[in-house]
Amino acid sequence: MSREERADTLEAEALHVRAGSFPAVRGVSARFQAGQFAAVIGPNGAGKSTLLRALLGLTRPESGEVRLLGRPLRAWPRPERARTLAYLAQGEALPPDARVRDVVALGRGAGAWKWGLIPTRPWTQADEDAVTGALTRTDTLRFEDRRVSELSGGERQRVSLARALATQPRFLLLDEPTNHLDLAYQLDVIRHVRCEAAGGLGVVAVLHDLGLAARADRLLLLHQGRVLAQGTPEEVLTPPHLHAAYGLRARVTRDAGRLLVIPED
């Protein structure tokens, strides 16, 4: 891989990460590419969230390294890192009384000074445009004046996505972004992140639903903290892999070009 290509990657190399005292990630090497939608899958406790937190720099690895755009993550100044890597945490709680546009503006640091999170800085037209762009792309502009408490769970998730996109990151990491959403909203989230990846963003999402994960460009299958398989959905979602990871007998088939995983009782 050339230096130029490597500059568009988020990489884990021989990563070992503890969650508390538990060795949750054990020697994971993976490369995520800008412009691709990657899903991290695996059974409960496989180490997915721990890996995501290490990729974000929220957890320090015991050994191994995370490299963002070819540079070790620990060498990045924190503000620059926060602008390059955006995170949508599992079950993100939004301030209920805040208006949608103000929540999305948090992605640009607006209001964060109130809580002493970052020093204040002048608000610019570029900030305003980034907020409007993120609202537009997530279909939330039409209710930008509504309060968070007036939104459905699916609408709130889109606002969280807009907040993350307003940062204009190179990579967006999402932890179970479709949790607690109905089927239509699950597909809606996936459609939006696919579209962002097609526009050049690197997307890494922890997903439990294998049907949704099959819509990703690349999959990373974890099992007991290790990589069991990685590659295209066709390469990863095979009956032997599913049996090894989930202890599940399943048929994998195609319908209208889509990969379907059908568990057998």
Ligand X SMILES: Nc1ncnc2c1ncn2[C@@H]1O[C@H](COP(=O)(O)OP(=O)(O)OP(=O)(O)O)[C@@H](O)[C@H]1O
Q: Which residues bind ligand X (CB under 6 A)?
A: 19-20, 22, 24, 42, 44-50
Minimum distance between the CB of residue 167 and ligand X, rounded to whole angstroms? 23
Single-letter residue type at 169? P
C-beta of residue 252 within 8 angstroms of C-beta of residue 233: no
C-beta of residue 181 within 8 angstroms of C-beta of residue 154: yes
- Would you say 166 or 221 has its CB closer to ligand X? 221
Minimum distance between the CB of residue 144 and ligand X, rounded to whole angstroms? 32
Minimum distance between the CB of residue 241 and ligand X, rounded to whole angstroms? 16
Handedness of CA 39, 43, 47, 49 (dihedral sign): positive
- Would you say 48 or 215 has its CB closer to ligand X? 48
Minimum distance between the CB of residue 113 and ligand X, rounded to whole angstroms? 31
C-beta of residue 50 within 8 angstroms of C-beta of residue 92: no
Task: Provide the pairing of β-strand 63-68 with 37-41.
Answer: unpaired
- Would you say 30 or 130 has its CB closer to ligand X? 30
3-state secondary structure of 146: coil
Minimum distance between the CB of residue 184 and ligand X, rounded to whole angstroms? 23
C-beta of residue 13 within 8 angstroms of C-beta of residue 213: no
In this structure, the number of other CB atoms found within 10 A of the CB of residue 8 comes to: 17
Q: What are phi and psi of 34, to 5 degrees?
A: -60, 145
Give the Cα separation of 264 and 41 in Å (integer).
Answer: 19
Q: What are phi and psi of 85, to 5 degrees?
A: -115, 120
Minimum distance between the CB of residue 53 and ligand X, rounded to whole angstroms? 8
Task: Please give the residue whose beta carbon sits closest to ligand X in the complex.
Answer: 20
- Would you say 22 or 123 has its CB closer to ligand X? 22
- Would you say 100 or 242 has its CB closer to ligand X? 242
Handedness of CA 136, 142, 144, 147 (dihedral sign): negative
Minimum distance between the CB of residue 17 and ligand X, rounded to whole angstroms? 8
Reported in sequence order, the residue ranges of 42-106 that DSSP labels E, i.e. its strands, are 63-68, 71-72, 85-88
Minimum distance between the CB of residue 42 and ligand X, rounded to whole angstroms? 6
- Would you say 23 or 35 has its CB closer to ligand X? 23
> How many helices (DSSP H) and strands (DSSP E) are in the chain?
10, 12
- Would you say 72 or 91 has its CB closer to ligand X? 91
- Would you say 148 or 173 has its CB closer to ligand X? 173
